[in-house]
Amino acid sequence: MDSTRRDRDEEGRARSARPRDGLGRPLPYGVEGVPRQPEGVVRTPAQTLREAQRLLDAGMPFHAHEVFEDAWKTGPSGERDLWQGLAQLAVGLTHAARGNGPGGARLLLRGADRISGQPDPYGIDVRGLVRWARELAERAEAVTDAAAEAPRLLAE
């Protein structure tokens, strides 16, 4: 690929075509990566939570973050903080698993603050997620396995 040309999507927006690993890190062109999540998918809250949990359990929190991002962009404005907060939790886990403990901790705490006090809509375990995020933030520098640290999104 010509290094002076930027990758563009079909609408002409800048978008890297480089393959990505399970934590969303770019890989060299020509290497097989993890399939990306399609953008702009409208899902029900139950579908969003099911898909995000599947990705978290598979050790792909970056991809779960993209699912939550779709929810806050396409869902009701009154739920924006909830979905943005969940996206921040997923990307916080991503950063921690990539070895960026301080950045991961900041995002985990920011996400926890954003969802704290929200009602538990759709069966989301908001209190449990806030507890998980704050505990993980304290040891974010030691995180090496995103799948092993994946939270449970729904109250059981």
Q: What is the pLDDT of residues 141-154, one digit of tens each?
A: 999 999 999 999 99
**What was the pLDDT predicted at 2?**
45
Q: How far apart are CA 153 and CA 135, in angstroms?
A: 16
Q: What is the pLDDT of residues 51-107, one digit of tens each?
A: 999 999 999 999 999 999 999 999 899 999 999 999 999 999 999 999 999 999 999
CATH number of 45-149: 1.10.3450.10
* Residue-averaged pLDDT of the chain: 90
Q: What is the pLDDT of residues 25-55, one digit of tens each?
A: 888 888 898 888 788 889 999 999 999 999 9
Helix (H), strand (E) counts: the chain: 6, 0
- DSSP conformational letter for 8: B
Give the CA radius of gyration of the chain.
Answer: 16
| Sign, Cα dihedral of 11, 14, 19, 22 | negative
Where do the domains of the chain lie?
1-36, 45-149
